[in-house]
Amino acid sequence: MGSADWIIIVVPLIAVIGMGCFIRRFIIGVSDFLVAGRICRRYVIISSNLANALSLVALAAYVESQYATGFALSFWMSLTLPLGIFISLSGYCLYRFRETKAMSLGQFLEMRYCRSLRIFACFLRSVAEIMANVILPALAARFFICYLGLPQTFPLLGWQCPTFLAIVVITLFLAISLICMGGALVVIATNALQGIILLPAALFLLIFLLTRFSISDEVLPVLSARIPGESFLNPFDISSLRDFNLIMLLVILSGMLLHTASGLTGTGNSAISPHETKMGAILGTWRTVFSTFFFTVIALTVITVLHHPNYAGDARAIRFDISRNIAGELIADNAERSEFMASIESIPEHGNTLEEGRLFARNDNPDEIYFHKAQENFDLTGEGSSKLQQFKTIFHQLMLPATMRRILPNGLSGLFCMMVLLFILSTDCSRIFSASSTLVQDCIVPFYRMETLPPNKHIFFLRIISVGVGILWGAGSWYMTQLDYINLFITIMYGMWLGGCGPMIVFGLYSRFGTSVGAWCSLLVGMGVNLSGALLQRYWADLIYPFLEKMGWVDDLGRILSGISSPFNPYLVWKMNRLKFPINSYEIYFIAMLTSVISYVMVSYLTCRAPFKLKQMLHREDAIDETVGLRPICALKIFFAKLTGVTPEYSCGDKIIAWSCFGYSFLYRFCIAFAAIIVFNIFSPWSLSSWKAYFFTVFLLVPGIIATIVVFWFGIGGIMDLRRMFRELKNRIADPRDNGMVDNCGSRQKVLSTLRRGN
């Protein structure tokens, strides 16, 4: 990269840090540090969320999954649209949570259940969040080492410092510094600024990539060259896909219902009103279109370059660079590393790309020869199997930086590096602060009373715990071994919290029968299932499978697992494998969710003595049913208002936004681009050429137009709301008692006993 590239990288970074230094002067209370003073409006919320959505971990995970399974499964993801519309337009869970006026999820759990559950649940949530996110610094370090062509070590004061460690320390230092400046207020403001910067930068990069490759002559032929059962384009021909298949879709649908509020912190709870929270969620429809379009174009770039004959030389060089980077990390001996790289150099160029009439498969593609070379080097002993898994995992992660480094010219190379740096900064800030604020608010604050926890001490806890979480992240990224796809790893780790928390939150907001005992059972069952699955996956290749093989139990266990999964074949196939535990992370996560729901409902009904005073917790004692007394002639209007979530709070512009989201998501994407296509294919199945045209229209053309509109719309709206936020920061008065403690207005025990007493 040239000097212009480094200027492109440094200037936005300085602007973001400068924003953090400027915002810190407005910190006057704990509520600023925790929920940004609750003054954020919709475009600040959506710009901040956009910066979090455009994260390196999300981009790398998307490239991994699409590289493995293509885009045919995305057709079936349209089944999530009606549910997503209902959640965003109705304010499902989010609106009610904001009505509770709880500053954190743990505060709500104490209001609804008990303090002990609050402390344990939120500690578990923080641990799961830290474990799931420890790969973020490692992912960032590997990206920059590969993308910038950095050596594995460099001299530092007479010591050979690992470049991996240096990058981890630098990125975490930047994130922790912003958090310590002002907590949520700085994080949200800087993320909003990053979102405003990233919008035009991403659009400029997308225009280059779309004009760099021929859609009809390069991209679509590569996507078409797949064996039956593993199509990248035809959604009716994906029965042989594994890991990312229709089981994953079922898990996503279940998760949408159970976990809309399970990760609540930050922007949603920082809105100036429940209505602004709801509007920020509705605008999330267009944010998702933009981010998905961006990820799609990047994934298509990687797939095309690594498979099309026009880029055979580039593909070979990319895979060689990836292998060299992995060898530098996994093979300590210089002679052994040189021998391994010599075997990689012997791979011919024609084995790397698409040939005339060749069809690729998951186990027959240009990458497999590199995996075979790695297997020959590591063999299949316990430790060798683990290292082979690491090689495959890191290989898939490095396809993104190695490809982009190869094809981007000067200027755009720096632009992409700047974008990734902002991706990392926004994600690290948000997730570190999420974990640290949860630990403080729900594991430390409950042991204090209002008069014994002054604001300066409270904020000190938030800062010091943020530093501690950052240190844990750095240590975890150094010692953690990742043996699976990014999405699957995060699912199984974060599933220790998500597996059992959904029922106690959803039923806690919408039912009166839920009890503390039921919530405990739900949480512990979900945690136990996911923790067991994580341990089995981690030690399967190097300890568990060799033990089963030694005891002669492999065949018997294989028959049992095969018999259990056979009714659900070909989408669920539990088959013994030396390298991977037969049950993948999505399947373990679904089992945990199912058992936790059953546990919560059964135990709550058995232990419920008196209904919970739900209206009082939601501050609805004086609420009036607005539909009472309305004439029957208004029934249709009421129906459509309920369908789109429109309430008297909606302005004319709000109604336009709500109806446009409904029209795009439900009428176009679900009814026209999904349901109508299914009906048509039942009577007259489409050819592959028709699916090519469908892919171009639905995945590239229409989202491209919307993405262009979003850049200007969200950019202008974000700037206006950010300026408005600064004006409101100057004129507000902070409430020192608004610090997330349940007993803000008197005795905690009195408030809780009143809520739990029957009406």
**In this predicted structure, what is the pLDDT of residue 30?**
80
Helix (H) or strand (E) holding 97: helix 94-99
CB atoms within 10 A of CB 540: 22
Average of per-residue pLDDT values in the chain: 83
Q: Detail the DSSP E strand segments found in 358-503.
A: none
Q: Is 211 exposed, middle or buried (0-12, 13-18, 19+ CB in 10 A)?
A: exposed
Tokens of 415: 């632009």
Query: Mean pLDDT throughout 735-750?
Result: 53
**In this predicted structure, what is the pLDDT of residue 88?**
67
Half-sphere exposure of 349 (CA within 13 A, CB side): 9
C-alpha distance from residue 247 to each of 147, 278, 412, 587 (Å): 34, 30, 38, 7
Nearest CA-CA partner of 183 in 392, 461, 382: 461
Nearest CA-CA partner of 123 in 478, 523, 701: 523
Query: Mean pLDDT throughout 148-173?
Result: 89
Percent of the chain with pLDDT over 90: 23
| Per-position DSSP letters for 484-531, written without gaps between them | S-HHHHHHHHHHHHHHHHHHHHHHHHH-S---HHHHHHHHHHHHHHHH
CB atoms within 10 A of CB 332: 8
CB atoms within 10 A of CB 444: 15
Lowest mean per-residue pLDDT among 276-285, 351-360, 398-407: 351-360
Backbone Cα Rg of the chain: 26
Per-residue confidence at 267, pLDDT binned at 50, 70, 90? very low
Is-contact 309 398, C-beta < 8 A?
Answer: no
Per-residue confidence at 730, pLDDT binned at 50, 70, 90? confident
76-103 in b/e form (b: 16+ CB < 10 A) is: bbbbbbeebbbbbbbbbbbbbbbbbbbb
**In this predicted structure, what is the pLDDT of residue 281?**
79
- Whether residue 101 is predicted with pLDDT greater than 80 in this model: the reply is no
pTM of the model: 0.83
Query: Mean pLDDT throughout 669-685?
Result: 91
Q: What is the pLDDT of residues 621-649, one digit of tens each?
A: 654 444 333 344 444 455 555 555 677 77
559 or 748: which leads in pLDDT: 559
Q: What is the pLDDT of residues 478-527, one digit of tens each?
A: 877 666 778 778 888 888 888 888 888 888 888 888 899 999 999 999 99
C-alpha distance from residue 754 to each of 230, 508, 581, 613, 759 (Å): 58, 16, 49, 8, 10
Question: What are the structural domains of the chain?
Answer: 1-483+634-751 (1.20.1730), 492-612 (no CATH)
Per-residue confidence at 595, pLDDT binned at 50, 70, 90? very high
Is-contact 442 118, C-beta < 8 A?
Answer: yes
- Whether residue 748 is predicted with pLDDT greater than 60 in this model: the reply is no
- Whether residue 207 is predicted with pLDDT greater than 90 in this model: the reply is yes
Choose from 58-62, 389-393, 454-458, 740-744 the range with maximum mean pLDDT. Answer: 58-62
C-alpha distance from residue 186 to each of 30, 35, 39, 459, 725 (Å): 13, 10, 13, 14, 12
Is-contact 227 359, C-beta < 8 A?
Answer: yes
**In this predicted structure, what is the pLDDT of residue 622?**
52
Query: Mean pLDDT throughout 308-321?
Result: 89
Query: Mean pLDDT throughout 401-424?
Result: 92
Q: What is the pLDDT of residues 537-592, one digit of tens each?
A: 888 877 888 888 888 888 889 889 888 888 877 778 888 888 788 888 888 888 99
Give start and end residues of each alpha helix (H) in 635-687: 635-644, 652-662, 676-683
**In this predicted structure, what is the pLDDT of residue 632?**
41
- Whether residue 55 is predicted with pLDDT greater than 50 in this model: the reply is yes
Instruction: Give residues with Cβ within 8 angstroms of 190, minimum separation 6.
Output: 16, 19, 20, 23, 178, 425, 426, 429
**In this predicted structure, what is the pLDDT of residue 239?**
77
**In this predicted structure, what is the pLDDT of residue 631?**
41
Q: What is the pLDDT of residues 9-42, one digit of tens each?
A: 999 999 999 988 888 888 887 877 887 777 888 8
Integer Cα distance of 264 and 282 in angstroms? 16
Task: Say which amino acid occupies 166.
Answer: A
- Whether residue 351 is predicted with pLDDT greater than 60 in this model: the reply is no
Lowest mean per-residue pLDDT among 245-249, 337-341, 472-476: 245-249
Is-contact 42 283, C-beta < 8 A?
Answer: yes
**In this predicted structure, what is the pLDDT of residue 377?**
82
**In this predicted structure, what is the pLDDT of residue 705?**
94
Adjacent-strand bridge partners of 620 = none
Integer Cα distance of 399 and 322 in angstroms? 7
